[in-house]
Structure 1
Amino acid sequence: MRVGDTVRRPAGPWTDAVDALLRHLHDVGFTGAPRPLGRDEQGRQVLEYVPGECGPVDGSYPLGELASIGALLSDLHRATEAFVPPPKACWQPAIAPDREQLLCHHDAAPWNLVRSPRGWVLIDWDGAGPGSRLWELAYTAQSVAGLRADRPAGESARRLRALVDGYGLAEADRPALAAMLPRRAAAMVELLRRGARDQIQPWARIWTEDGVYWQETTRYLATHVPLWERALSD
């Protein structure tokens, strides 16, 4: 909840590690995250409130904005490379990543991207934790570039290229990203399916509301892997 120029969030076992990460990002000059401000009298996490608005949930950003969001994610990954987690750091990413390469946000999606006076800012860091560049980039590309079954594949390919060029992904890594897109979406399907089976919220609710969307998206991404590869390499 917002309190004046701050946001207050319930603290959990992961909060100390998240605060340490956010302090590191602030110290190295990364402006795309809120500053941590300690705890309040109720023990809640206190964060800087970042004014602005979130982007379109369906990922219908203009191509120029996709490039700038790709650049934000690239800046984040460079900034976290030197981060040393505190002893016994606890993290809670919702989905286990393909590997642990560096610290990632794990939900860099439209609902967590704020257009602020200082540029794009990522909020809601509770799910931060170890991950890999391609794992995170695949999810952000799918959600922010709006790679979805109701969008013509050629248009999706152009949008994907804009975001990945903004990120500056090396040419050698681009085929692997194309293959990672359906793999990352399939991991989301599995998370939601397990949540529905075990009645774990909010995953059970999201499965009911959006399970079909995620299954269709996974098939769409898998069907067009050769197109994604060509779009990223041309």
Structure 2
Amino acid sequence: MSELEVPFVGGRITAGVMRVGDTVRRPITADRSDVHDLLRHLEAIGFEGTPRLLGIDEHNREILSYLPGDVPRDLDHFSDVQLRSAAALLRRFHDATAYSLLARRQSAEVLCHNDWGPPNAVFHQGLPYGIIDFDTMVPGLRLWDLGYSAFAWLDLGNPDYTGAEQVRRLSVFSEAYGLSACSPAQIAAYAVARQTTLASSGRVKGKTEMADWAASAADWTIVNVTEKLLPTGYSIGTQL
């Protein structure tokens, strides 16, 4: 008897993703060679926190190792301890990808997950320890990834927080990432860039509600965070 296939729920699940025993089966709908190379690279260097690629099944689905834990459905409030864990995990991921073949071939600083937020994190005992879903992975800058990650993990743009509190939380996130070149001001500037990009792409795709939300988040972040962090005379464009 074949093992039971159980659909995943929670997070932002790709259609057709199933759990089969201690594996995940994920439909292949586009070229995944770069993602597979990344997962093999991470396994080869002993990086913990991402699934292992175990092969392709008879239905042309990736076979990935299952990371036990919980995946949040969407944005939420996360404690300082959780923010530190998320930022530190991203730093380890970036460091592990910096010398990957794809990053070197593209002369890129690192490989960006490009969607590192709570819905792509696996939690154990309340802390994020696993990174999943590499559909949007691209070679790029640490700050490009950090900008989106801060946006997602801190929920930048949510008026339930004060600007002062978000500046404080951003400092927590930046310190946990632990690279002086990635200061809170720089991360905030890239967060606005990612929010603005998301708004623009949403409008192109006809996703008006998402576009309006992202644009509003960018406006809020500029007024309440970046303008408090950037020195007088500097603009967001100067930081990028």
* TM-score (normalizing by structure 2): 0.79
> Which letter does structure 2 place at the counterpart of 1:215?
A
Distance in 1 between residues matched to 2:168 and 2:73, nearest whole Å:
18
Matched position secondary structure for 2:87: helix
The corresponding residue for 1:104 is 112
Segments of 4+ moved more than 6 angstroms: none
Instruction: With a CA cutoff of 8 Å and minimum separation of 6, indicate the structure with the bigger relative contact order.
Output: 1
Q: How does 1:112-191 map to 2 (within 5 A)?
A: 112-116=120-124, 120-150=129-159, 151-171=161-181, 173-191=183-201
Closer, same or farther: CA 119–195 of 1 in aligned 2, 3 Å: closer
Distance in 2 between residues matched to 1:215 and 1:186, nearest whole Å:
6
The corresponding residue for 2:14 is none
CA contact (8 A) 2:171 2:184 kept: no
Q: Give 1 or 2 for the bigger CA radius of gyration.
A: 2
Matched position secondary structure for 2:24: strand
The corresponding residue for 1:82 is 99
CA contact (8 A) 1:71 1:166 kept: yes
The answer to whether residue 213 in structure 2 is matched with residue 213 in structure 1 is: yes
Unaligned runs of 5+ in 1: 90-98, 197-203
The corresponding residue for 1:72 is 89
Deviations 1:77-126 (A, max 9, x none): 1000111039x99xxxxxxxxx9432111110110011137961011112
Matched position secondary structure for 1:46: strand
Closer, same or farther: CA 67–228 of 1 in aligned 2, 3 Å: farther
Unaligned runs of 5+ in 2: 1-17, 232-240
Identity score, percent? 32
Moved more, 110-119 or 20-29: 110-119
> Which letter does structure 2 place at the counterpart of 1:195?
K
Distance in 2 between residues matched to 1:12 and 1:129, nearest whole Å:
17
